[in-house]
Chains A and B, each alone.
Chain A
Amino acid sequence: MLSSLLGRVTGTDSCESIDVSPDALFDALQNSRRRRAIQILADRPSGKIQLGELADEITAREQAPSSDPFTASERKSVYVSLYQSHLDTLASAGIIRWDGDSGKIETTEATAKIARLIQRVETKTCKNPNDGQEELVGGGINE
């Protein structure tokens, strides 16, 4: 089911997809805007969000330590990076579906699961997961 769905998404690489696909998942997760987009979308009960709303949410979270409202240019930079790059990367990895013409973004069957796993990785690997420092656990060799 999901693999056939992803097979369509990864398309031409199908003979090598077994190698390509897990790599694409980790590649998709290596950017904080993409990880936030997955979490924000997964939290929507409708399973849908518009590009503009997503840009608002991500900008607000990036500015969170400051109490000032975000500026139009901060929001525009997020909007453009989502539109030009991040949403395509997420869609290619099968994590979201999105339509560039209407700006509509939807969950796939993978979205909620990946959102939970991202959260678990953050909790388990960061010493202080909520302080934004992202310092990783270092348990030594035998822990």
Chain B
Amino acid sequence: MSDVPAHDSIVGSTSLSALYGALQSSRRRRAILYVRNTATDTVTARVLGKQIASLEHDTMPENLSNEQYHRVYSNLTQYHLPELDEAGIVIYNRAGQTVEPGPNLLAATIAIEIMLPIIRQLFDSTHI
């Protein structure tokens, strides 16, 4: 792993503590999994907001009210995306309101996936 090309390697090492800290919000966990699983490299904050709001309200993105969407969108752009950027998990472009994978996205995804079984078992929850 130490031989990965520079553009794929760690910029600023995030500790395990910071990694777990970044995962302590459901909106951040969902944003991480969406950015990781999406086919395109860049996701707009708008799309992310719609996806997460529709999961929270258990409805299709097109059925969300403006208020339901905007509440999640503002919270993501003002708080959660800057936090994920700080942890090196995504690269958040405020000017363009876009989100790209960061150097620690893989580590964050692995940590969520490893913890999923215990979350399901402890909280009887299929929801991350």
A61 at the B interface (CB under 8 A): no
Residues of chain A within 8 A of B119, CB atoms compared:
22, 25
Residues of chain A within 8 A of B97, CB atoms compared:
none
B23 at the A interface (CB under 8 A): yes
A54 at the B interface (CB under 8 A): no
Asked if residues B16 and A137 are in contact (CB atoms below 8 Å), the reply is no
User: Are A124 and B41 CB-contacts (below 8 A) given A25-B119, A136-B10, A139-B8?
Assistant: no
Identify which of residues 93-125 in chain B touch chain A, using a CB-to-CB cut-off of 8 Å: 101, 103-107, 110-111, 114-115, 117-119, 121-125
Nearest-Cβ distance from residue B25 to partner chain A, whole angstroms: 6
Residues of chain B within 8 A of A39, CB atoms compared:
none
Number of interface residues of A (CB under 8 A): 39
Asked if residues B128 and A30 are in contact (CB atoms below 8 Å), the reply is no
Residues of chain A within 8 A of B114, CB atoms compared:
117, 120-121, 124
Number of interface residues of B (CB under 8 A): 44
A57 at the B interface (CB under 8 A): no
Asked if residues A121 and B111 are in contact (CB atoms below 8 Å), the reply is yes
Q: Which residue of B lies closest to A33 (CB)?
A: B17
Residues of chain A within 8 A of B88, CB atoms compared:
136
Residue in A110, A121, A126 whose CB lies within 8 Å of B122: A110
Chain B residues in the interface with A (C-beta under 8 A): 1-2, 4-5, 7-10, 13-21, 23-26, 29, 41, 88, 101, 103-107, 110-111, 114-115, 117-119, 121-125, 127-128
